[in-house]
């Protein structure tokens, strides 16, 4: 699991690569802890390189979404592959999360 967080004045982009499962969900949890406590105005989770998500990963997505909702900030999950989209559909997470399959702007 590789997690990269990029910030600029407009948004925070969280890039996920690999498997988000029980063995590494604590790493993701630690990386997003500050974002959950104090969400920025706009957040994007780029899932283009995410290959698998377990129930522990789904729980963290839910925590991030709940935090964004409470802070009235924007959170979008983007570029989700078909396998993970199927998991989100089956679990009902597509009704909870804001999912957009659009290209991300370059942040530098």
Quickly count: other Cβ atoms within 10 Å of residue 50's Cβ. 23
**Beta-ladder partners of 17:** 2, 49
- Domain 2-100: CATH superfamily is STAS domain (3.30.750.24)
Only one residue has tokens 């399959």, namely 101
Q: Give the pTM.
A: 0.85
Only one residue has tokens 């570029």, namely 79
Query: Rounded to an integer, what distance in angstroms lies between the CA atom of residue 73 and that of residue 55?
Result: 24
What is the CB-side half-sphere exposure of residue 36 using CA atoms within 13 A? 14
pLDDT digits (tens, 9 = 90+) for 7-51: 887 789 999 999 999 999 999 989 888 887 777 778 999 999 999
Domain definitions of the chain by residue range: 2-100
């Amino acid at each position: 699991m590789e997690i990269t967080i990029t910030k600029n004045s407009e948004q925070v982009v969280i890039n996920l690569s690999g498997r988000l499962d029980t063995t590494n969900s604590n790493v993701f949890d630690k990386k997003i802890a500050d974002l959950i406590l104090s969400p920025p105005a706009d957040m994007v989770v780029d899932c283009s390189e995410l290959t698998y998500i377990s129930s522990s990963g789904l729980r963290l997505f839910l925590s991030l979404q709940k935090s964004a909702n409470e802070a009235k900030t924007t959170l979008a999950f983007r570029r989700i592959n078909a396998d993970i989209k199927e998991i989100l559909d089956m679990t009902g997470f597509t009704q909870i999360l804001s999912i957009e399959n659009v290209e991300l702007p370059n942040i530098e």
